[in-house]
Amino acid sequence: MICIPVTGKTTAEAAISMSQAFSLSDAVELRIDGMQAPDLKRLLRSKKGKILVTNRRSEEGGAFAESENHRCELLLEAIELGADMIDVELGTDKAILKKIVDTIKEKGERTELIISFHDFGGTPGTRRLRSIFEEARAEGAHIVKIVTMARNLQDNLKILDLLQWAENSHRKIIGFCMGDKGKISRIAAPLFGSCITYAALDNERATAPGQLTVQEAKMIYRLLIGDGFTFPRGEM
């Protein structure tokens, strides 16, 4: 599934980008960390497909500059409003992470929890990657997201191996490498078991280094798989 990240300084800006994104894909990541006073009720009410809410902390490449408690409150509000998924970093304070997990359980697990790990410095070895995956699962993740920086082409192979390992045990994972050397993993990831790959509305609205546009991603998949290629809908 292609998921298009949506950002905006205001709710109105984000709503416009959401409408554009849903016309190109059936899943949107709503990045509220750079938004001033996000009106989550308005934004989630206007969704036209699956919506993932992320409030990325600054330590992992996000723009949220307020307290961790307020960051948590916004994510809890997204759960209350029926977000299909939320993304919370593995490095989040354990008490806050537990509160999010408990709230999701109280709501009948209608929201899937993605627990994410980002390494902007490089790609750890296979043993470490698997350890991170297991740690996130133990914290209550429905889906584990592991994203690293590719310093060489071999780093892509580490992530693809991790995806295959998780898929073989029927556990949900999102994984790919960032950076120019990681672009190949963004394309290959869904073919190796990643349940989501991210693509930008356009180059100006990319949210991570090496992120392809949705038009580029779809073109490459059609070239690889055939003219009749369409992304599966509703597989999450």
Catalytically active residues are 118, 145
Cα atoms in the 13 Å half-sphere on the side-chain side of 151: 7
User: Pick from 182, 207, 176: which is nearest to 35 by CA?
Assistant: 207
User: Pick from 51, 9, 12: which is nearest to 29 by CA?
Assistant: 51
DSSP string, 74-88: HHHHHHHTT-SEEEE
Amino acid at 232: P
User: Pick from 165, 122, 123: which is nearest to 144 by CA?
Assistant: 165
Alpha-carbon gap, residue 207 to 31, rounded angstroms? 9
